Amino acid sequence: MKKFSTIALLIAVAFPVVASSQASAQEAARAAKAGKCTFLPDAPDKHVVVKGDTLWGISGKFLSNPWCWPEVWGMNRDEIRNPHWIYPNQIVYFDRINGRLRLGNNVGDGSITDSGRLQPQIRTENTGRNAITAIPSNLIEPFLSQPLVIEKDTLLTAPRIVATQEGRVILAKNDKAYVRGDLKGGTSFQVFRPGVPLKDPENNAVIGYEAVYLGTLKLERTAKTVDGVDSFVVASAKEEMAVGDRLMPVPPTPIQNYVPHAPEQEVRARIVSIYGGVSQAGQNQVVSINKGTNAGLNIGTVLELSRYGKIVQDKTDGKKPIRLPDEHYGNLFVFRVFENISYGLIMTVNDTVAVGDLATSPDK
């Protein structure tokens, strides 16, 4: 299997700002020399970027591990969080003679201009609008703007609905709700109800609660007295709301494009739950794990999925019990991170994912 021999030039493929960084080039060269990232033996000569492509998919056509991009291109932390864009009609092709990738542009007559070592450029049309994303955005969009998990401390301090207009049992759109709690200056809130407790597979301790998303409230009038309540109106209702339901501020519009990358420190996490309450999951489903920012995870982190190795008897040595190696079977792309819990999208797998399975730093 071939390895990147002139890896420093790879940083010019899609991230032109990196091309001017000598330190980044040296880092990429060291990664290549260590043999961490290799070309696939059947890598194509080129790939024309089309609408619907993803960074993960394009990388997987050339590299043995899609999460190798930052190491191959010598990207720093800021560039991982805010990648430069790759657009449809650009062409990534494999220079087999020099052992590197290049980024070319279609000039309209069927020919290709070789961008080679790109210089910094600014796009003035549709900036970011048509750019390809890291992973299929439609699979995670519903999970980016709604509360997924409520950690124990947040649950204790969250504002709550304490009364309804005219004593109604349930609330629907345009109904009034009365709230107590510290709004911290907010005016728009999501309403949720604590759901299934999430227990750490390691010690069975409750580390949070899945949030049942109910809808949104808009502040209409703040309390005028110490013992008063804030008045809200229901802006949208996905499910019925009632007294006791809690509020969380509406988060800012999420950024959805991140470069897949391995964690900066060793991670050994466990699958806590599978979204939707099922016992097993497959590709393109969402799961939660028992590690978050407390373990150095961030958006775009890729973890390797595996199952504990079975304990069998050694028939050659008195049938003593031995543990077989953990069985790796897929990858997890982390897209939402809390302090003690993260949510990830199951990428390519060759087995089913179950609660309790491992999610660890990829082997390099």
Q: Which domains does the chain have, with CATH numbers?
A: 7-139 (no CATH), 146-249 (no CATH), 268-360 (2.40.10.410)
CB 234 within 8 A of CB 215: yes
Residue-wise pLDDT for 129-183, tens only, equals 677 888 888 888 878 878 788 877 787 889 999 999 888 899 999 999 999 999 9
Least confident segment among 4-18, 47-61, 273-287: 4-18
Name the token pair of 98: 């020099």
Least confident segment among 315-319, 321-325, 359-363: 315-319
Residue type, 232: F
249's enclosing H/E stretch is: strand 246-249
Taken in order 222, 224, 228, 233, is the CA torsion positive or negative? negative
pLDDT of residue 83: 66
- Nearest Cα to 17, choosing from 91, 74, 95? 74
- Give the Cα separation of 344 and 334 in Å (integer): 4
Q: Name the one residue in this structure whose structure tokens are 């009365």.
A: 178
Q: Grade residue 109 by pLDDT with cuts at 50, 70 and 90.
A: very low
71's enclosing H/E stretch is: helix 69-73
Does the pLDDT value for residue 236 go beyond 90?
Answer: yes
Q: Name the one residue in this structure whose structure tokens are 């070789």.
A: 114
pLDDT of residue 345: 95
pLDDT of residue 129: 67
- Give the Cα separation of 85 and 21 in Å (integer): 18
Q: What pTM was estimated for this model as a whole?
A: 0.76
pLDDT of residue 268: 95
Residue-wise pLDDT for 170-224, tens only, equals 999 999 999 999 999 999 999 999 888 999 999 999 988 888 899 999 999 999 9
Residue-wise pLDDT for 54-103, tens only, equals 889 988 898 888 888 777 666 777 777 766 667 888 888 877 776 666 76
Burial class (CB in 10 A: 0-12, 13-18, 19+), 156: exposed
pLDDT of residue 210: 87
Residue-wise pLDDT for 241-253, tens only, equals 999 999 999 877 6
Distances, alpha carbon 250 to alpha carbons 190, 210, 253, 321, in Å:
6, 17, 9, 53
pLDDT of residue 99: 61
| Percent of the residues in the chain that have a pLDDT greater than 70, as a whole number | 78
pLDDT of residue 156: 80
Angle, alpha carbons 278-280-283 (nearest 5°): 110
β-strand 90-95 against 46-48: which pairing, if any? antiparallel
51 against 111, higher pLDDT: 51
CB atoms within 10 A of CB 63: 20
24's enclosing H/E stretch is: helix 22-33
The pLDDT of 290-299, averaged and rounded, is 94
Q: How far is CA 253 from the centre of its chain?
A: 15
Taken in order 57, 58, 63, 67, is the CA torsion positive or negative? negative
Q: Name the one residue in this structure whose structure tokens are 């897209």.
A: 335
- Give the Cα separation of 231 and 175 in Å (integer): 11
342 against 93, higher pLDDT: 342
- Nearest Cα to 72, choosing from 259, 235, 282, 205? 259
Does the pLDDT value for residue 352 go beyond 80?
Answer: yes
Mean pLDDT for the chain overall:
80
